Chains A and B, each alone.
Chain A
Amino acid sequence: MGQIQLKQVTKSFGNTQVIPPLDLTIHDGEFTVFVGPSGCGKSTLLRLIAGLEDITTGHIEIDGQDATGVVPAKRGLAMVFQSYALYPHMSVRKNIAFPLKMAKLEQAEIDKKVEGAASVLNLTDYLDRRPGQLSGGQRQRVAIGRAIVREPAAFLFDEPLSNLDAALRVGMRLEISELHKRLETTMIYVTHDQVEAMTMADKIVVLHAGVIEQVGTPLELYRTPRNTFVAGFIGSPKMNLITGEEAAKHNAHTIGVRPEHIDVVESGGTWQGTVGVAEHLGSDTFFHIHNTGLADTLTVRAIGDVSLKHGDTIHLTPRAQEIHRFDDAGLRIAQ
């Protein structure tokens, strides 16, 4: 079991309130991702759940039990830190065994569980090494190993992949997703990378200045962003947000069109502009377009390799059914 409920939780540091009253329910077995720009309070929120920070007001319940004043050790949660936070003076074996030793388990049982976790995470050959002798990816696995041996009610991940290089990050992302499928334990994962959020989450919580902007599945957020913040944050490259006359034509204060929902046409087209930078990825081409009269830069994604270059005039047609409309408060207007 691992249902976590936050009820009217707030957090202040001194006179600065970083989390205004917040309600959130994370269901048992769910993979929830907290995503947002740096300083949005996502890590603070995770640390409040972990118990590493005290909440200022409100309640936290874990499996229906009030855990508000409970120390981290007694919450039954396991955490994987950004810096891995392995114990540098202990071997991999002792690192993974540490929570079991603290739980005063029998040595034979500890050995069995450590061996089990090590084989799942391909760490068997490294059990007697120190963390300093391991690569970044291996250290991350040890940190995960240390978390899974405890069989916690929920796993908390605090930007666990941000210290890894890009290739390794993709690999570890898959490993964590597979781990979740196999263990079916609640996981809360904090990241500023919306690609990680989109690919891993059952449920995404978008945070901005301590406030939940939207909660939903990755595709819900992609298809129906509740406001301009979510619209601009979810999706890569970012959604184009256009105000002014063009928006007024759609009876909105702001309209949003994703780069993949604008077609490049030979001639005519609804909009025209000049190509600034063209990024050729082979499978796609990203055009950054100026002089459209709509926004400083318009980003467009064309499928395949389109041979337009810097300074060329480009003709564009947005797909009418994919245009998102927002009012002057930045909130979505129903279609």
Chain B
Amino acid sequence: MARNVTTQRKILTTAAAWTIGLIIFFPIYWTILTSFKTEAQAINDPPLFFAFNWTLENYAVVQERSDYMKFLWNSVIIAGGSTILGIFIAIPAAWSMAFVPSTRTKDILLWMLSTKMLPAVGVLYPISLIFVEFNLLDTRGGLMIVLMLINLPIIVWMLYTYFKEIPGEILEAARMDGATLKEELLYVLTPMAVPGIASTLLLNFILAWNEAFWTLNLTAANAAPLTAFIASYSSPEGLFFAKLSAASTMAIAPILILGWFSQKQLVRGLTFGAVK
């Protein structure tokens, strides 16, 4: 029997959901708002919500002082590159774990996930040394590899759960039909898993885009992405709130727009397997 939902209850839950949503969104809203204020207005007490002189000055200053396009381009290459690299490694890995599991597969999956529980700073020193040794410091290639490795457990896990949903008999049918392993992955598994692969790509791209620890620690001028761009405006001295906000807005805008247009895909991907 369907549960009875009273109108009153509906109104209450809707109001609660909106309140939580607005609280979560507020910092982003405030950042965007502040980016259009002058530095003095930005720290005004009481805070100004609408009654201030809207200005684009901060954006002009930020663009003048640092080359936004260069940081953006670095972000796109590093996030995109690590995602594509990751997916090429993760598809065969997830295939083998989903369709030809061994008795240790579950342990491997958990072990992979456990690396995500390790504080990143714990391996900062060894990774920095490796970067120095191989001349990877401040290179986009080096950062691509590190971000790929960091997000790989999540990509493999996500793909693994999507692949588990695909009936093994279909892949066996492909084998009976004369497909080699490569053809089986290319013509049967990948096209069937497109929704799952797409949402994995998206999520991984977003994670890589927002990753700050490694991008800040392993880059200087050449390979610095947008996270470094924001950080360069976070100064303990002087009035920089409005400019910092403008830089932040510019840094999160591309990913916010991407997320907005792909939200359906993302939600479907993240809840895949929960409902048949």
Which residues of A pack against B, CB within 8 Å?
Answer: 50, 52, 71-74, 77-79, 81-83, 85-89, 98-99, 102-103, 146, 150
- A-B complex: 10 closest residue pairs judged by Cβ atoms: A102-B178, A99-B177, A85-B173, A85-B169, A73-B178, A79-B176, A72-B175, A89-B191, A81-B169, A85-B170
Q: A50–B191 contact, CB under 8 A?
A: no
A71 neighbours in B (Cβ, 8 Å): 175
B174 within 8 A of A: yes
Number of interface residues of B (CB under 8 A): 18
12 A-B residue pairs with Cβ-Cβ distance under 8 Å, sorted by A, are A52-B176, A73-B178, A73-B179, A78-B177, A81-B169, A81-B172, A85-B169, A85-B173, A98-B179, A102-B179, A102-B180, A150-B177
A146 neighbours in B (Cβ, 8 Å): 173, 177
Candidates A52, A85, A103; contact of B178 at CB < 8 Å: A103
B179 neighbours in A (Cβ, 8 Å): 73, 98, 102
Q: A99–B172 contact, CB under 8 A?
A: no
Candidates A73, A83, A103; contact of B176 at CB < 8 Å: A73
Known pairs A83-B169, A85-B169; A98 contacts B192 (CB<8 A): no
Q: A85–B183 contact, CB under 8 A?
A: no
Distance between Cα atoms of A87 and B191 in the complex (Å): 10
Distance between Cα atoms of A83 and B191 in the complex (Å): 19
Residue of B nearest to A89 (CB): B191
SS class, residues of chain B in contact with chain A: helix
Q: A85–B175 contact, CB under 8 A?
A: no
Least Cβ distance of B272 to chain A in Å?
15
Residue of A nearest to B177 (CB): A99
B192 neighbours in A (Cβ, 8 Å): 87-89
B167 within 8 A of A: yes
Least Cβ distance of A172 to chain B in Å?
18
Q: A87–B188 contact, CB under 8 A?
A: yes
Q: A78–B176 contact, CB under 8 A?
A: yes
Among B172, B174, B176, the one with the most A-chain Cβ atoms within 10 Å of its Cβ is B176
Least Cβ distance of B9 to chain A in Å?
38
Q: B175–A52 contact, CB under 8 A?
A: yes
Candidates B167, B174, B177, B194; contact of A83 at CB < 8 Å: B167
Q: A52–B172 contact, CB under 8 A?
A: yes
A83 neighbours in B (Cβ, 8 Å): 167, 169
Candidates B173, B180, B183, B188; contact of A79 at CB < 8 Å: B173
B187 neighbours in A (Cβ, 8 Å): 98
Q: B173–A73 contact, CB under 8 A?
A: no
Q: A102–B167 contact, CB under 8 A?
A: no
Distance between Cα atoms of A89 and B186 in the complex (Å): 13
A72 neighbours in B (Cβ, 8 Å): 172, 175-176
